[in-house]
Structure 1
């Protein structure tokens, strides 16, 4: 780095340090003090450059992990918004049906009241005296009693219908509040995703082409080390290879998407995020599963890793922020992160939280 010029690698590391300092307690106080003159950076050897790039790699992993967490929140809010919108539509239909039913009941109650008024104006003893046939009178009296019971039943049904309408209205208002809250949560998650991805892209944009290529190799080496350590446990000796019929369908769908770009919030057919890929793969196999990796971890059946089979989903990181599909022989297919495409990777290349099985067969 002669003639006092900084390399773009040094600038990228400076950005990492700036992000760390600005996020630390006391950063505002530190910014007030007089800065020391910046010394001219010494000429770096290759190992030192690799060390700097390794710091960049770790920072990128952190940024993309945070983006993945925000993506899960965005997808969850989107799913809840969809469900709440459908519920509001159904409640609106219930209200319309209830109003129509109430109008019909009112018409029937009015008709019954008019009929009772026309037939019930005379006292019973007078109607008995005027009747030519006592049996006819008794029949008429029974009809009147039936009419009275029917009228009471209509009034009770009207009351229940009115109560139902009030409850539907309350439910609809509640769903609207939740819908609004989830829309705001979705918008906030979108901002977080865009912020983290923009920071990662800014960090990478400061690297030269050769440095980006070296960074990619460092990423591959880190994944390979993790996969090797996982395989060295002898785990594959215990893992079966036979998949269910539906599992094979899901694997076939997922592997057919290899090469398509990762796009956060996407669930095909041209692009996917990690849980968009797994949920659509199992939908293609005829099984509906939760949309997000966190919900897949919460709601699908957990299986021991030694019982894992192709088609099962591996959940990664302690916060369940990433998911991939196991395809056999210690390999997964997944949508990694922004800037990458759906690809094959080692199942142990990331920290495994656990395994879930979408199908029951």
Structure 2
């Protein structure tokens, strides 16, 4: 009898289909147990690129802008001092040059006198002494020789005074020049610090979506709207203050550029200085200097034209324009604009 082999394949080890289902379920359960549980209340927004990370990036951008603004005001102070020193150096060098010309004239006069002596039969020893490089020593020697006349004495005294003054003025110019070089080094250092922080902030901004950037800007401008202190008066304290307000309003829409003081771009203290300059009043270049540029008044008594100083270190300034608003140059990438007076902590209100 011929036997026929079955065409069915032998069963693989591992059990039946129900057994495999049980095993797969067990493996899935073990994997779930090894996966960290999401925190309660977590949402997809908490992942990379979500709302939570956008808020963290926005907070860091704000800190970078604040630090950059502090460095900007240090840069402005160094630039102001550098400009003053440059003028002082030029003045000191001009004085030294004039004094040198006087010394040259006096020595030429003495040389002319010596020439006349030579033509008349030889140079008198007293005249030879007068032409030495040591006028003080000459006087002592001339007194011993008893050969100095009143006119020669007067000429030599003037030469001696001119030489002393020249030496002093050269030393003064040298000291100021050395300080100027130190200030220039400070300028470079503060500029580098500003640029580094702004570059980091720009990189973070570029990582945000357009909607996240808009939301960050909306949140930034909404700060302070619930300020419990209501600023006062609707009229400027003086005609100059009114003119400064008009100038500040005319700058609305111009771009923020750090270190700029108008008329096409501004940083915070550059705007307020420019506005008061247009009104015919000179105020300091930095926000720290502007804090002390007049009489301080309570925020509740603020009037248009008053300078509102922000943060304990006075690193930001705006101009109060009434209706609870200031005009200010906020930060890079923004334009001069209106914002609530309580947008950040107010440290002082100054009336120039």
What is the match of residue 295 of structure 2? 302
**Higher share of residues assigned helix:** 1
**Within 5 A, what are the aligned runs for 1:92-241?**
92-109=93-110, 148-221=149-222, 223=223, 226-229=224-227, 232-233=228-229, 235-236=230-231, 238-239=232-233, 241=235
Gap regions ≥5 residues in structure 1: 1-36, 119-146
For this pair of structures, how many residues does the alignment match? Answer: 287
Contact 1:302–1:354, Cα closer than 8 Å, also in 2: no
1:154 shift after superposition: 2.8
Gap regions ≥5 residues in structure 2: 1-33, 121-147
Contact 1:57–1:219, Cα closer than 8 Å, also in 2: no
Asked if 1:77 corresponds to 2:70, the answer is no
Counterpart CA distance in 1 for 2:216 and 2:283 is 36
1:357 shift after superposition: 2.7
Counterpart CA distance in 1 for 2:212 and 2:341 is 27
Counterpart CA distance in 1 for 2:202 and 2:62 is 12
Asked if 1:253 corresponds to 2:247, the answer is yes
Match 1:243 to one of 227, 237, 245: 237
State the TM-score, normalizing by the size of structure 2.
0.73
Contact 1:276–1:291, Cα closer than 8 Å, also in 2: yes
What is the match of residue 43 of structure 2? 44
What is the match of residue 280 of structure 1? 274
What is the match of residue 132 of structure 1? none
Counterpart CA distance in 1 for 2:200 and 2:89 is 38
Asked if 1:325 corresponds to 2:319, the answer is yes
Contact 1:326–1:333, Cα closer than 8 Å, also in 2: yes
1:240 shift after superposition: 6.0
Counterpart CA distance in 1 for 2:184 and 2:195 is 17
Deviations 1:128-185 (A, max 9, x none): xxxxxxxxxxxxxxxxxxx944433332222221111111211121122111111111
C-alpha spacing 1:181/1:38, structure 2 compared with 1 (3 Å):
farther
State the TM-score, normalizing by the size of structure 1.
0.72
C-alpha spacing 1:114/1:322, structure 2 compared with 1 (3 Å):
same
Contact 2:74–2:190, Cα closer than 8 Å, also in 1: yes
Q: What is the alpha-carbon root mean square deviation over aligned residues?
A: 2.9
What is the match of residue 89 of structure 1? 90
C-alpha spacing 1:357/1:38, structure 2 compared with 1 (3 Å):
farther
Deviations 1:227-276 (A, max 9, x none): 322xx33x33x546333111111111111011000000111221111111
Contact 1:88–1:175, Cα closer than 8 Å, also in 2: yes
Q: Tell me the secondary structure at the aligned position of residue 336 of structure 1.
A: coil
